């Protein structure tokens, strides 16, 4: 399972990268705005900065919602750095744009996916990644994990190569349950990755080992 971090914060990206388990980064316009990154040139530069920190894929989202606009922006984003994956929303024009990018060797992440049908369409168009937003489904009393399981089943039925990128992950149990279902990737905040570390018995055991070592040395 690949671990992506869902942030545009360079310090957090560095911290996750230093842990040695980071496989990529996802961003979106809201995450960019949260870091105060505004204006096209600053945003493009920020994507390059992120690529220079991590080894893996970095999702960069198009803002246009028409086919021509998405293609123009996506081509510009893809040229920024070989690690860039163009993030395209799950709308009709987006599906057309994903197909275009697929045919032109540009990798894509189909975002804002909330149903199995949308995930099927993304795979048919050849998306590299599909991003079902599980946290946002949970927020409206709909089981996000059930969607991951449905997409896994559908993709396995037909051997679709589109990778399931469980997005809108909020906590460690999301990560563990996505791993059990077989999501290819998860993207979440640093806390969802670091939370995997924690167990009181580890802390108690280590404390005991160190105390016992001190007694004999
Ligand atoms: C996915 O790529 C999105 O950036 C993200 O996971 C959305 O998460 P949120 O629902 O916590 O905003």
Six-digit token string for 142:
């709909």
| β-pair partners for 166 | 186
54, 22 contact by CB (below 8 A): yes
Q: What is the pTM of this model?
A: 0.96
Active site residue 87: yes
Pocket of ligand 1 (CB under 6 A): 6, 26, 28, 111, 131, 133, 135-136, 167-168, 187
Six-digit token string for 76:
């510009």
| pLDDT digits (tens), the chain, 217 positions | 999 999 999 999 999 999 999 999 999 999 999 999 999 999 999 999 999 999 999 999 999 999 999 999 999 999 999 999 999 999 999 999 999 999 999 999 999 999 999 999 999 999 999 999 999 999 999 999 999 999 999 999 999 999 999 999 999 999 999 999 999 999 999 999 999 999 999 999 999 999 999 998 8
């Amino acid at each position: 399972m690949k671990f992506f971090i869902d942030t545009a914060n360079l310090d957090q990206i560095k911290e996750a990268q230093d842990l040695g388990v980071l496989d990529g980064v996802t961003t979106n316009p809201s995450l960019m705005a949260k870091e105060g990154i505004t204006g096209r040139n600053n945003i493009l530069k920020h994507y390059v900065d992120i690529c220079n920190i991590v080894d893996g894929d970095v999702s960069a989202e198009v803002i246009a919602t028409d086919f021509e606009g998405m293609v123009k922006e996506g081509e510009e984003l893809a040229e920024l750095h070989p690690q860039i994956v163009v993030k395209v929303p799950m709308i009709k024009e987006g599906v057309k744009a994903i197909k275009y990018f697929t045919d032109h060797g540009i990798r894509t992440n189909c975002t804002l996916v909330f149903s199995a049908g949308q995930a099927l369409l993304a795979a048919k168009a050849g998306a590299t990644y599909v991003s079902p937003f599980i946290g946002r489904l949970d927020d409206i009393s709909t089981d996000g994990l059930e969607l991951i399981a449905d997409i896994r089943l559908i993709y396995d039925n037909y051997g679709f190569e589109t990778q399931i990128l469980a997005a809108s992950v909020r906590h460690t149990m999301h990560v563990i349950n996505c791993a059990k279902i077989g999501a290819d990737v998860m993207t979440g905040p640093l806390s969802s990755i670091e939370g995997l570390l924690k167990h009181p018995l580890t802390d108690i055991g280590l404390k005991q080992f160190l105390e016992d070592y001190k007694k004999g040395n």
